[in-house]
Amino acid sequence: MRVTVLGCSGGWPAAGRPCSGYLLEAGGRQVWLDAGTGTMPELLRHTTLADLDAVWISHLHPDHCSDLFGAFQALKYGNARDDRLPVYGPPRWASAFEAFAGPATGVFEVHELVDGGRVDLGPLQLEAVFVPHVLPTFGVRASADGKVFGYTADYEPGADLSRFADVDLLLAEAWRSADAVAALGVRAVITHVHPDLDPLEVAGDMEAAAPGMVISM
């Protein structure tokens, strides 16, 4: 299992620093995990929209989903893919999207996440983990090759992270709560740090995500 950091800025992008977006690869499957601002051009350095098996939108804050609009345009007006791209997102994500961009169902295969819901991609299994945040938000537990990868997505300090306590690697959007992640005792990479903060300082003794970083497990 391998995760490529497409972007890791929290809140808003900075020069050369897109927002949250990660390419998860395992067993020949590829998932674009959050389509934050600026991550689609980075995604296309590594794969194509046609090769993606799914897109996972944790929640509807722009720093996690705004590049879904770019994918929509490429699929609708270009020849990026013949079939619909499966997109998993929070309840009613498609209607929110359509308020900006028009009907999405001809371009996207619309799936809504529920807590504990599973997505079967053959050798790669995904499980939604609800996390408390301003908007309905779903992190993920991804299992493949006997390994488990966890992604917290954005969450409020004080959230119960115990469902990530057994993972082999945790990608944690913990810019406000790194101590709680450290307490889990798992290998953790801290991401989603606001551009005006120092990621290394926030991460402390843990690893800090950086654009282009590849994490293997």
Closest contact distance (angstroms) between CB of 8 and Zn ion is 14
Name which of 67 and 154 has its Cβ closer to Zn ion.
Answer: 154
| Residue for token pair 């994490």 | 215
Taking the complex as a whole, the smallest distance from the CB of residue 23 to Zn ion amounts, in Å, to: 20
- The site map against Zn ion for 119-158 (x = CB under 5 A) is -----------------------------------x----
CB of 60 to Zn ion, least distance (A): 8
Touching Zn ion, residues 31-70 (CB under 5 A)? 61
Are 2 and 25 in contact by the 8 Å Cβ rule? The answer is: yes
**173 interacts with Zn ion by CB under 5 A:** no
Nearest by Cα to 58 from 153, 160, 155, 169: 153
Judged by CB under 5 A, the number of residues near Zn ion is: 2
Q: Which amino acid is at 173?
A: E
Q: Give the CB-side neighbour count of residue 117, counting CA atoms within 13 A.
A: 15
CB 6 within 8 A of CB 13: no
Which residues form the interface with Zn ion (CB under 5 A)?
61, 154
